[in-house]
Structure 1
Amino acid sequence: MLFNSYEFIFLYLPITFAVYFLLNRFRLTKVGIAWLALASLFFYSWWNIANLPLMMGSILFNYTVGTMLAKGTLDRFIPKKSLLILSITANLLFLGYYKYANFFLENLNFLLDTKFAFLHVALPLGISFFTFTQIAYLVDTYRGSSKEYNFINYVLFVTFFPHLIAGPILHHKEMMPQFENKRAKVINWRNISHGLLLFGIGLFKKVIIADTFAGWASPGFAATSLTFTEAWATALSYTFQLYFDFSGYTDMALGIALLFNIRLPQNFDSPYKSNSIIDFWRRWHMTLSRFLRDYLYIALGGNRKGAFRRHLNLMITMVLGGLWHGAAWTFVVWGFMHGAALVVNHFWRQLGFKMHWLLGRLLTFLFVVVAWVFFRAESFTQAMVVLKGMVNVEQTGLFTSGISPALPWGRKELIVLFLAFLFVTIWKNSSEWEKGFQPKWRWAVAAAVLIVAGIYGLNRVSEFLYFQF
């Protein structure tokens, strides 16, 4: 079930909301928690009910291990650290089997000239997100900063439907206290108005803006040759598609959670305004950056073992972060590029050099655009078509590459791309607009207009890009 679908907007969300607060109205708070957990499981099962046993198996395993870590049940038989390592390994093997097994076999066949048959496995939706969420929970429990002895509460923590499919990646200690808060049990009209506004902004971003750019980017990446202008239009179309798609999902997730008086952590903060690649990773997919820093980079030693190890740890973290997004070498290259850029950025700062903020913002944006080509391309061949076009200064016009009639760009589209560039690099984002939010009639009108416009555009429903990761 998509946030941007009729069944979600007109059936699932209103029913889930009404039953939850009705149960709380009659002080059936534990039943309300159970209802929200069941509704979230139903939301997940809507895609493919065959995936539900897999997720429930993962939840049961990690809940059991987490309880044993918190209570010290197996301390006499196995050290807690060993139990933690084994449980994390089990989670990674679970993720690896479904997400990377065929990628491994494909490369093994190529290297050894073998003919191992591919496995017939379908990638369960959201597996990366609910696996990483639970790994973070196990580590936090081992450190003594989280514990959960109520199974229903744990199920809700993992499956709460606004974040389940594409994040943000949550910490147990920042979520469950909110569900237990008595103030969260009653309808809060300020949160409802705020949440509907965020939902409307996100729906408009996704349906009207991101899906429009998707229709421009896809033909470019499918082309066999591109002129300079066409290649840059292709790369920028995807750059803006991904921006509005992901930020749209984030706004919708935050808005939906607010309807239930839950504040999810911020996950997106105008990354194209970044003055450096370090700044970019503080703004893009912020909870993934937090996870990679806290549970991978620091675990590898962080910056505690000298400059060389610090840079090596950065590279390992970003390459694995790239691979997390998908089982393809193009994602590895994307992660390597960002890792190398971070190393250069840190080295630049160590030397004491400074750069004008405007130049820094422009260079960072250009680097990110080029890197996105590998992120989007289905093969290196496809990526090279776009990259060669981006330096093809001998052919700068539109409709001159021989296959251009299939491409969507004209002067109007190029103007829209330029306006989008100004918007994402200068204009305030939704989190900046919401500071000091107060329910007023003009915000209600804005929310209504955005939601109606988004619903009007649902005739071309498409999944969010991060669902595939």
Structure 2
Amino acid sequence: MLFYEPLFLFLFGPAVYLLYLFFGAAKARRALILLCASVIFYGWSEPVFVFVVFGSVALDLYVARKIAASPDSLILRSERSSRLEGGGRLSPSRFETRPSDAPQDEGDKARARWLALGVVGNLAILIYYKYTGFLALNLDAFLKALTLPGINIPQIALPIGVSFIVFEKITYLVDVYRGVTAPARPFLYGLYVFFFPKLLAGPIIKYHDIARQFEEMRHADMADFVAGFSRFMLGVVKKLLLADTLASGADMIFARDPSTLGFTEAWAAAMFFTFQIYFDFSGYSDMAIGLARMFGFRLLENFNMPYVATSITDFWRRWHMSLTSWIREYLYFPLGGNQRGEARTYFNLWICFLASGVWHGAAWTYVAWGVYNGAFLVLDRLFLLRRLERLPDWLANVVTMIVVIVGWTLFRATSFAQAGALLALMAQPWATASAPVAIPEEYVVVALIAAAICVAQRVSLFFEGFDWAIAAQRFALASNGALSILFIAALAKGLADPFKPFIYFRF
């Protein structure tokens, strides 16, 4: 079930919201309505995998209780009785510090073993559904290269949103282990995992960032509805009017044999996809944040004008911020961060983005994309950031975008051969196509509009002192009116054209 499908827009969404408004007088009832709606929403698309998620939720709850019950040195024993049973966040004053080189006692070891069980259990789900086929395919190729019999390649369907679900569940277990949060009540933890606005493609929400909101379960008001629905409409417009049109242009060129293309076609393919992935994914994030706001919840932002970045480091502070934050807190810091010398810092940065590439998809092109971005983050630390800071911001932005576009070409390509051929053409202005692609004018117009939006974001940085919030309030009626017209046009286009799933549904 997609957010912009008629089933959601005209039946599921309104029905859930009306139930929430008119039958959700009590907090417990509001939570029950949202949990049931979320399970139905996910079960509609994944009727089998939803039971796997239920089983893993039960494992998480059991493991979290075992972690909290083990003697430990993180949470003061005298304050165990004052824990927030509902899963609230514990204040930093409740923690003891322990030297990093202090020996672990039996309680520490028991907690670590339970955490390892929970993390491995969740990763096993991800590996089975997402990487079994990829691993089997590579093993088959390796065996055949040795003239040995190959193996059967299993066909395992990838459940929607499996990566996001697994990452969020690991977050909860690690937070309990660190003492950041107390074990959650089963009902609230189930709502956290299944909460339908962010379920399919994020943002990745840490349990401690939203636990208090689930406990309070405040009733949404009209201001929440207006702000939330406006944000939701913006996401639909981004997805249907911009991203889907750009997707058609990218698909048209990437489906061609690179040997028949030229310089212009290669750059057109790269630019189509560069704008497509931004408006597609940020569009989903807008829809998720907007829907959550309509029910009274505040989700953290996931994008902050990434295409105005003036370095790759800056880009990753702005792009998919929830993933970047997750990698920093749950992988980079445990690896040692920048506390173990420069060489180790560079290695940690690189390994984190290698992991990011693996997380994005089961293909060597995704791995290479992660290696590529990790390498530029290291280069930023070594010298590139200082060089870019000496340039005018607009020129640093152009240099950064070239690096980003090359990376997106590798990300979108179906093979290294295709990626290499397209990148080679992009470096040869004299290359002409043997069979030129007839790109429809509407695709070009939409690409220019997308580019103009990104340029406008760049220009807006020159007005940092301007209070955009006041301007938005002053022109709210006009902007929402224009947005409503675009929303209706987007729905009409969506009904007329075949549905295109969100890019990040595959991840």
- In structure 2, the partner of 1:100 is 131
Aligned-partner residue type, residue 232 of structure 1: W
1:147 partnered with 2:182: yes
Deviates more, 1:267-276 or 1:13-22: 13-22
Cα shift readout 1:321-358 (whole Å, capped 9, x = no counterpart): 00101000000010011000000011116868733222
- In structure 1, the partner of 2:119 is 88
The Cα of 1:379 is off from its aligned counterpart by 1.4
- In structure 2, the partner of 1:12 is 12
Deviates more, 1:454-463 or 1:292-301: 454-463
CA 160–211 in structure 1, closer or farther in 2 if over 3 Å, else same:
same
- In structure 2, the partner of 1:426 is 456
Determine the C-alpha separation between the residues in 1 that align with 2:245 and 2:361: 24
- Report the number of matched residues: 457
Determine the C-alpha separation between the residues in 1 that align with 2:455 and 2:138: 40
Determine the C-alpha separation between the residues in 2 that align with 1:274 and 1:76: 46
Please tell me whether the aligned partners of residues 197 and 443 of structure 1 are also in contact (alpha carbons under 8 angstroms): no
Determine the C-alpha separation between the residues in 2 that align with 1:104 and 1:435: 50
- In structure 2, the partner of 1:468 is 506
1:75-224 correspondence runs (5 A): 79-113=110-144, 114-181=149-216, 184-185=218-219, 187-224=220-257
Aligned-partner residue type, residue 379 of structure 1: S
CA 60–438 in structure 1, closer or farther in 2 if over 3 Å, else same:
farther
Cα shift readout 1:48-101 (whole Å, capped 9, x = no counterpart): 311111111121111221222233389769621222122212221221111111
Q: 1:302 aligns with which of 333, 337, 343?
A: 337
Determine the C-alpha separation between the residues in 1 that align with 2:384 and 2:447: 33
Please tell me whether the aligned partners of residues 273 and 424 of structure 1 are also in contact (alpha carbons under 8 angstroms): yes
Please tell me whether the aligned partners of residues 270 and 425 of structure 1 are also in contact (alpha carbons under 8 angstroms): no
Determine the C-alpha separation between the residues in 1 that align with 2:227 and 2:289: 10
Cα shift readout 1:355-387 (whole Å, capped 9, x = no counterpart): 322221111101111111111111122222322
CA 425–355 in structure 1, closer or farther in 2 if over 3 Å, else same:
farther
Determine the C-alpha separation between the residues in 1 that align with 2:11 and 2:410: 39
1:31-430 correspondence runs (5 A): 31-72=29-70, 79-113=110-144, 114-181=149-216, 184-185=218-219, 187-224=220-257, 225-348=260-383, 354-356=389-391, 357-395=393-431, 400-402=433-435, 404-405=436-437, 407-409=438-440, 413-414=443-444, 416-427=446-457
CA 244–351 in structure 1, closer or farther in 2 if over 3 Å, else same:
closer
Aligned-partner residue type, residue 123 of structure 2: L
Determine the C-alpha separation between the residues in 2 that align with 1:20 and 1:73: 42
The Cα of 1:214 is off from its aligned counterpart by 0.6
The Cα of 1:435 is off from its aligned counterpart by 3.6
Aligned-partner residue type, residue 430 of structure 2: E
Aligned-partner residue type, residue 91 of structure 1: N
CA 77–177 in structure 1, closer or farther in 2 if over 3 Å, else same:
closer
> In angstroms, what is the RMSD of aligned CA positions?
2.3
The Cα of 1:111 is off from its aligned counterpart by 2.4
Please tell me whether the aligned partners of residues 319 and 332 of structure 1 are also in contact (alpha carbons under 8 angstroms): yes
Relative contact order, CA 8 A, sep 6+: which one is greater?
1
Instruction: Classify the secondary structure of the residue corresponding to 2:37.
Output: helix
1:457 partnered with 2:502: no
Aligned-partner residue type, residue 236 of structure 2: L
Percent of paired sites with the same residue: 37
Cα shift readout 1:288-317 (whole Å, capped 9, x = no counterpart): 001111111111111111111111111111
Please tell me whether the aligned partners of residues 188 and 215 of structure 2 are also in contact (alpha carbons under 8 angstroms): no
Determine the C-alpha separation between the residues in 2 that align with 1:425 and 1:12: 37
The Cα of 1:168 is off from its aligned counterpart by 0.7
Determine the C-alpha separation between the residues in 1 that align with 2:349 and 2:109: 32
Gaps of 5+ in 2: 73-105, 461-465
Aligned-partner residue type, residue 95 of structure 1: L
Please tell me whether the aligned partners of residues 273 and 426 of structure 1 are also in contact (alpha carbons under 8 angstroms): no
CA 93–48 in structure 1, closer or farther in 2 if over 3 Å, else same:
closer
The Cα of 1:446 is off from its aligned counterpart by 3.0
Determine the C-alpha separation between the residues in 1 that align with 2:117 and 2:492: 50
Deviates more, 1:171-180 or 1:223-232: 171-180
TM-score (norm: length of structure 2): 0.85
Please tell me whether the aligned partners of residues 346 and 378 of structure 2 are also in contact (alpha carbons under 8 angstroms): yes
Aligned-partner residue type, residue 154 of structure 2: L
Determine the C-alpha separation between the residues in 1 that align with 2:155 and 2:445: 46
Please tell me whether the aligned partners of residues 225 and 293 of structure 2 are also in contact (alpha carbons under 8 angstroms): yes
Aligned-partner residue type, residue 20 of structure 2: Y
CA 131–73 in structure 1, closer or farther in 2 if over 3 Å, else same:
farther
- In structure 2, the partner of 1:441 is 477
